[in-house]
């Protein structure tokens, strides 16, 4: 996997269950390794015009948005 | 294992029951428990509060790295005629009984999937199938737990997790302490087995659901008392 790996759609690296597992793994890794508690698949993520789950890079960008913005999105 | 509502009643009984079998038991309740035991750790958590539930399971993950069994016991019951039941009471009952069961099950399943094994047992009630007057909202919330369990069973089976419900008859706990004796007797008279439930009746069924051999039993409800 790299930053361009597609997570969502026909050319996704994962099937639907694999993507669920991946998102939960990322959430738990953020909490375990960085002490950052975020909920990735929330209303905000689902309402984005461009899904934050389309590629690894898009997801990384979304996580940065969540963890750097002063929006109470789950920073510890 | 994790037992919600472990401070008293059925939750406390199940926590003590599994401690007696040598399990390490994590508990939670809104109030401070007035009992303690070796291998038992209890946190103050409102299961309807998503942040608190996430933090609870994160703490279990960090301290134990795994979770095998979840027993959803946390529940509230307010019994009143439907015409005298305020909307806030409806919200309160559904928040704890349904939203709480969902939130804890969701976070528990995230942890259980790591080991590809899990047992989730939630507490239902005979109030729904028995159409007990004065328990409309409570019964609806418990029937919602049944529906929730059946759907979660289908979704979680891929992770080796089973989800089932044990639905007790009235048992001598705080939950029914305020209910008139005649009303409880009227319910007992409608059961096939005409006696009040016992805490051991519940743990007997939970024992069955959580056995490793019960991996082919999921999405099921066992009503006690012959309902």
Instruction: Give B130-145 pLDDT, tens digit per residue.
Output: 999 899 999 999 999 9
Q: Work out the average pLDDT over B166-191.
A: 86
| Catalytic machinery residues of B | 138
ipTM over 0.90: no
* A18-34 mean pLDDT: 93
pLDDT at res. B173 = 73
Supply the mean pLDDT for chain B.
Answer: 95
pLDDT tier at B71, thresholds 50, 70, 90: very high
| Chain B contact for A32 (CB, 8 A cutoff) | yes
Looking at residue B82, the DSSP 8-state letter turns out to be G
Q: Are strands B221-223 and B25-29 parallel, antiparallel or unpaired?
A: unpaired
Q: What is the mean pLDDT of chain A?
A: 87
- Residue A3: other Cβ atoms inside 10 A: 11
CB-CB neighbors (< 8 A) of A35 in chain B: none
What pLDDT sits at residue B72? 98
Report the pLDDT averaged over residues B39-52: 97
CA separation for the pair A45, B175 (Å, rounded): 40
- B74 versus A73: the higher-pLDDT residue is B74
Spell out the residues 6+ positions from residue B89 whose beta carbon is closer than 8 angstroms to its own.
Answer: B78, B80, B137
Q: Which two tokens stand for residue B35?
A: 């009992």
**The pLDDT of residue B145:** 98
Residues of B in contact with A37 (CB under 8 A): 54-55, 58
Chain A residues with CB inside 8 Å of B54's CB? Answer: 37, 39
Please give the Cα distance from A71 to B183 (Å, whole number).
51
Q: What is the pLDDT of residue B175?
A: 66
CB contact (8 A) between residue A32 and residue B54: no
The better pLDDT of the pair B218, A45 is held by B218
CATH class for domain B2-226? alpha beta
Q: Is A68 helix (H, G, I), strand (E, B) or coil?
A: helix
Give contacts of A 39-68 with B, CB under 8 A: 39
pLDDT greater at residue A49 or residue B45: B45
Q: Which ranges constitute the DSSP H helices of B69-180?
A: 87-94, 100-115, 136-156
Annotated domain spans of chain A = 16-68
Please determine, for residue A74, whether its predicted confidence score (pLDDT) is greater than 80.
no
Secondary structure (3-state) at B45: coil
> What pLDDT is recorded for position A44?
87
């Amino acid at each position: 996997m790299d930053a361009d790996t597609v997570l969502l759609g026909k050319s996704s690296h994962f099937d639907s269950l694999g993507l669920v597992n991946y998102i939960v793994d990322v959430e738990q890794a953020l909490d375990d390794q960085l002490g950052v508690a975020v909920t990735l698949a929330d209303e905000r993520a689902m309402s984005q015009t461009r899904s934050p789950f389309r590629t690894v890079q898009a997801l990384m960008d979304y996580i940065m948005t969540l963890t750097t913005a002063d929006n109470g999105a789950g920073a510890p | 294992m994790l037992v919600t509502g472990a401070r008293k009643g059925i939750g406390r009984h199940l926590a003590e029951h599994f401690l007696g079998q040598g399990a390490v038991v994590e508990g939670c309740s809104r109030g401070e428990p007035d009992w303690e035991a070796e291998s038992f750790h209890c946190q103050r958590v409102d299961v309807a509060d998503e942040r608190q539930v996430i933090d609870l399971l994160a703490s279990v993950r960090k301290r134990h790295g795994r979770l095998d069994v979840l027993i959803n016991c946390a529940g509230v019951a307010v019994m009143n005629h439907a015409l005298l039941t305020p909307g806030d009471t409806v919200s309160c009952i559904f928040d704890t009984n349904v939203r709480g069961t969902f939130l804890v099950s969701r976070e528990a399943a995230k942890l259980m999937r790591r080991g590809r094994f899990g047992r989730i047992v939630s507490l239902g009630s005979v109030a729904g199938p028995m159409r007990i007057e004065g328990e409309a909202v409570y019964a609806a919330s418990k029937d919602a737990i049944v529906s929730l369990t059946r759907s979660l069973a289908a979704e979680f089976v891929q992770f080796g997790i089973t989800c089932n419900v044990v639905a007790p008859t009235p048992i001598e706990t705080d939950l029914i302490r305020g209910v008139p004796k005649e009303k409880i007797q009227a319910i007992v008279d409608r059961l096939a087995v005409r006696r009040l439930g016992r805490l051991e009746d519940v743990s007997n069924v939970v024992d069955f659901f959580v056995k490793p051999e019960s991996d082919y039993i999921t999405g099921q409800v066992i009503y006690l008392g012959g309902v």
